[in-house]
Structure 1
């Protein structure tokens, strides 16, 4: 199957110029979007925050219809469009919705063996107005991801200026605190992206929100990273911000049980 040409945004588009827009990255299996209700809910919340008219139902349906066979990822980009003067938005927006589909295969080796992660030096700014939504202005994530080049490091963990664990550069964090009976995930009411897999697990009662200082990660019984495309990666090794080993975990039934529960939501197998 030939990949269709990628859309081109004009230089006047506010999403390109200012990050004035939103995006969703949707796992699609044989034309069926996974966790679609969660993706749509986050997109609509982002529209309310940015005061954007929501995308038309028929436009979203057309974008989904462009997904190819098999397993793939559909990236939706929704901008305010062009217009306005400087930062001032136009009185009446004419949003643009663009979609790009590509085939995808998850990294099952990371499911099975777990991953090595590091703490990032960059600290996330707290901005509760934008917290949770997936807006286009993601320079913090870009700078954090640029902190390492070692391919053995799968992800970087981000904290805020108070040392509270928030997320990874492109995934949410889940942890089982020592002595706890329930898996937790940091609250994202000040900063961070509220992932759709995280939302589904919260809705199921599989996880609860709880704070955790990044310095306390080593005391946790288990740590995972997850999103709606890659699935769940157990964390096997934690490095500090200089790449020096800080803690390690042996993967066990606790890791696998949570992974299986999350993967059922995505149609992925477990990692037994």
Structure 2
């Protein structure tokens, strides 16, 4: 499907775009089913938070309308929205009133081996660490160089995902997913106030768990706590939930709470 730039079909961008020059912008990767963007409200909420923190003067009504129209045309697949600060001259300074550039790209549905969801995945122990920057923590901003370097650390099918720690060896997330552990019936995920991406599926699963009366906790996670976990899984808004069966010398079964939440995530993605 053709890409759109500022609402019009396009296959080129200005060389002056600040997204290209500085990674100055945000993005959202959205599953589309039957012409409908999945978890749209959560994606838009995160985008609005990012725009506020980066001082991007976005027209959120227009963005919503374009996302809905593009998803309807795409049908089934993966939609990527890139929002940059638009063009500028040389230098870091920007015009606070400049209208951001809206880029929409469509791709076929993501295909992953069924074994990832059924039997779980092994996590690669990434050496690349996430740096601390509270001003950007949680945002899906365009600078993904840490993830690019981490993903380059392994090749081949043995590992479906990698585990990323921060500079103080706290467990944060996967390269392209959020991580949860289950310990004594409590669903735990990492505190993302220093670094990491606040995934929309992460937010939805926390909401669903609380609705079901499942205790939840957002806190720092150490490698020792990871070792003591009863269940571990990773999630994102495209594939839902993959149980984690191994990391380094550690291993876990696919547990009942993982299966319960996996069913909820699958229902959301298949609706």
Q: TM-score surpassing 0.5?
A: yes
Measure how far apart 1:56 and its partner are: 4.2
Which residue in 2 is equivalent to 1:143? 149
Q: Counterparts of 1:221-232 in structure 2 under 5 Å?
A: 221-232=230-241
Measure how far apart 1:199 and its partner are: 1.0
Deviation string 1:47-85 (CA, Å, 9 cap, x unpaired) is: 001001123423431233123454311100000001144
Is 1:48 paired with 2:46?
no
Measure how far apart 1:221 and its partner are: 0.7
Q: Counterparts of 1:252-267 in structure 2 under 5 Å?
A: 252-267=255-270
Tell me how far apart the structure 1 counterparts of residues 261 and 96 of structure 2 sit (CA, whole Å): 47
Measure how far apart 1:219 and its partner are: 1.8
TM-score normalized with structure 1 length:
0.89
Is 1:103 paired with 2:122?
no
Deviation string 1:7-44 (CA, Å, 9 cap, x unpaired) is: 42211100011000000001111111111110000000
Is 1:160 paired with 2:166?
yes
Q: Which structure has the highest helix share of the two?
A: 2
Measure how far apart 1:91 and its partner are: 4.5
Distance 1:86 1:259, change over 3 A: same
Q: Counterparts of 1:59-78 in structure 2 under 5 Å?
A: 59-67=63-71, 68=73, 70-78=75-83
Unaligned stretches of 5+ residues in structure 2? 4-9
1:184 to 180, 184, 188: 188
2:227 to 218, 235, 238: 218
Measure how far apart 1:105 and its partner are: 4.1
- For residue 92 of structure 2, give the secondary structure of its aligned residue in structure 1: coil
Measure how far apart 1:45 and its partner are: 0.4
The alignment covers a number of residue pairs equal to 258
Deviation string 1:169-206 (CA, Å, 9 cap, x unpaired) is: 100001012xx222111011110000001111223325
Which residue in 2 is equivalent to 1:235? 244
Distance 1:203 1:54, change over 3 A: farther
Which residue in 1 is equivalent to 2:120? 114
Unaligned stretches of 5+ residues in structure 1? 240-245
Distance 1:215 1:49, change over 3 A: same
Q: Would you say the 8 A contact 2:48–2:60 is kept in 1?
A: no
Q: Would you say the 8 A contact 1:174–1:186 is kept in 2?
A: yes
Distance 1:236 1:162, change over 3 A: same
Measure how far apart 1:92 and its partner are: 2.9
TM-score normalized with structure 2 length:
0.89
User: Comparing 40-49 with 253-262, which one deviates more in the overlay?
Assistant: 253-262
Measure how far apart 1:215 and its partner are: 4.2
Q: Would you say the 8 A contact 2:57–2:97 is kept in 1?
A: no
Distance 1:29 1:237, change over 3 A: same
What value does the CA root-mean-square deviation take over the aligned residues? 1.8
2:35 to 31, 35, 46: 31
Which residue in 2 is equivalent to 1:93? 98
Tell me how far apart the structure 2 counterparts of residues 40 and 259 of structure 1 sit (CA, whole Å): 23
Deviation string 1:138-188 (CA, Å, 9 cap, x unpaired) is: 1011011111113220111111111111111100001012xx222111011
Deviation string 1:214-245 (CA, Å, 9 cap, x unpaired) is: 34322211100000111100011112xxxxxx
